[in-house]
Structures are given as C-alpha cells and as structure tokens.
Amino acid sequence: MRLPSHKSKSLPIPSHIHPVGCQTHALLPTAQTIRLSKLILLIILLFSYKLNSSTQEYDSIAIFMQQYEFQKAIDKINIIDKSGSDLRLIDIKATALNGLNKYQEAIPEYENLLKTDTNNLRNIISLANCYQSIGNNKNAQRFYKKALIISTQNNYLYQQLANAYYQDNDFHHAILNYSIVYEVDSSYYLSKQLAKCFDNLEKVDTAIYYYQKAFNLNQSDFQTAYRLANLYKQNQDYKAAIILTESF
C-alpha cells in the first residue's frame, strides 16, 4: 500500500529572529542622531564666529596702522596675542614700535621674526636700522652685510653700511662703501660724507675736492662752506677762502 504523502508547511519566522549569516545595518536612534547633528552644527558655528571675530580684530589693527595710531595697534595686539605666537601680529607690532622710535623694543620682535625666516630682507634691514638708531653700530654693520649677501646690488644698503662705519669712526671702511654708491650717484649727501671722511683722516686736498662738489650742489649749506673755507686757509689758499666767504 502506498502511504499518503504529507506536504510540510513552512512555519513563519518571528521578526526578532534572523537567519544565520544575515545581518542588518545598525542605525542610530533618532534622538541620538539629532543630538549629534546639533553638536556638529554648534562646532561649525563656534569656528565661524571665532574666524569672523579674528578677522574683525585684524581689521581694527590695520585701521590703527593706517591712521598712524601705533600705540593703539600695539595695545590691541597685546590683548589678542598674549603669547606672542602670531607671526603676522609680531610683524605689525615691530613696525608700530619702529614708527614710535621705540627701537630697543622693536629689536626683539624683529629677531623673533628672523628665527622663522632667516632670509627675510625687509626684517633684516629693519633690524639693522634699529641697531643703528640706538648707536649699536657693530650689530648694524653685521645685519647690513647680511642683507647685502641677499641683495648684492643694493645701493641703499651700501650707503647705510657706510653710515654705520662713519658713526663708528671707521672712516676707511666708510669711504669704501660710500665710493661704491658715488660711482653711480654723485649726490650732495654722498659728496659731503666723503669730504667729512677724508677731513677726519686729515687728507686735506681730497677733502677739499669733495667739499667743493658738495657746495656746488647745495650752496646754502653753511657747514660745508665754513669747513671748506677753513681748509683753504689751512692750505694758505687765502684767495679761494675770501671768494668763498664773500659769495656765501
């Protein structure tokens, strides 16, 4: 006899049970997702506010600098950059101190800038000028020479280096550097400086030559006329001395 066949019916699988090997992607609960979105939005807003606030601070400092309100710019910088780590603000502060003739205070600011950019020509020259302004001619000479390594054809630097030597009574080196510029620019100032150098070295004839050059370019210069007349007298050239004094 053939036994009756029975078709098996598949039982429904409860919704909380999943077949082995099948995984569902876990989703964050709605409340947690909302909180995370709010946190991200808050961070973005805070960053935007800080960035906008910093921009406004920079703008106010820039306005003070444009109006030559150097002390106000310095005070503002001291408030917003107490650690002295913002290179842009250090640069502005150094410029402001320089503008107020506070050279001794500007020097460490320029030195800090040079630690991060040792070949920044503007900062090297500014530092050299500050040293020269306080009478530290050795350091002034050192930084002018450093600048000349970078800008070898810069007549301004040769002239400033010559001035630093002159102020240090090193007339030989002063003449050397003044002469480099004089070859391309025989100005009144350079003529007079060369005359004074040779005068200090008691090279009378050469001093007279450059004093004459300077006087011809500026005949209202009493100091040059007076010194030239005395040199004529020293050389017993009384006629030239009389003509000069009468014409002056």
Give, for all 248 residues of the chain, the pLDDT tens digit. 444 444 444 444 444 444 444 444 444 456 666 655 555 554 544 444 344 446 788 888 989 999 999 999 999 999 988 877 889 999 999 999 999 999 999 999 999 999 999 999 999 999 999 999 999 999 999 999 999 999 999 999 999 999 999 999 999 999 999 999 999 999 999 999 999 999 999 999 999 999 999 999 999 999 999 999 999 888 888 888 888 887 76
The set of residues, in sequence order, having a beta carbon less than 8 Å from that of 172 and lying 6+ positions away, is 201
The ranges assigned to domains in the chain are 195-248
Pair 215, 189: CB distance under 8 Å: no
Identify the pLDDT of residue 206: 97
Q: Are 192 and 211 in contact (CB under 8 A)?
A: yes
CATH tag, 195-248: 1.25.40
Residues 6+ apart with CB under 8 A from 139: 128, 131
Phi-psi region of 87 (alpha: psi -120 to 50; beta: other; left: phi over 0): alpha
The DSSP element (H or E) to which 229 belongs, if any, is helix 222-234
**What is the pLDDT at residue 116?**
92
How many whole angstroms separate alpha carbon 240 and alpha carbon 123?
48
Question: Which pLDDT score is estimated for 15?
Answer: 46
What is the pLDDT at residue 8? Answer: 43
Nearest to 57 by CA among 75, 83, 37, 45: 75
Helix (H, G, I), strand (E, B) or coil at 145: helix
pLDDT at residue 56, rounded to an integer: 81
Report pLDDT for 235. Answer: 84
Q: Sign of the C-alpha dihedral, residues 163, 215, 183, 153?
A: positive
Which residues have a Cβ under 8 Å from the Cβ of 137 and sit 6 or more positions away? Answer: 131, 164, 165, 167, 168
Which tokens hold the place of 147? 């600048």
- The rounded distance, in Å, linking the Cα atoms of 83 and 142 is 29
CA distances (Å), 134 to each of 19, 101, 130, 137, 138, in order? Answer: 87, 10, 7, 8, 11
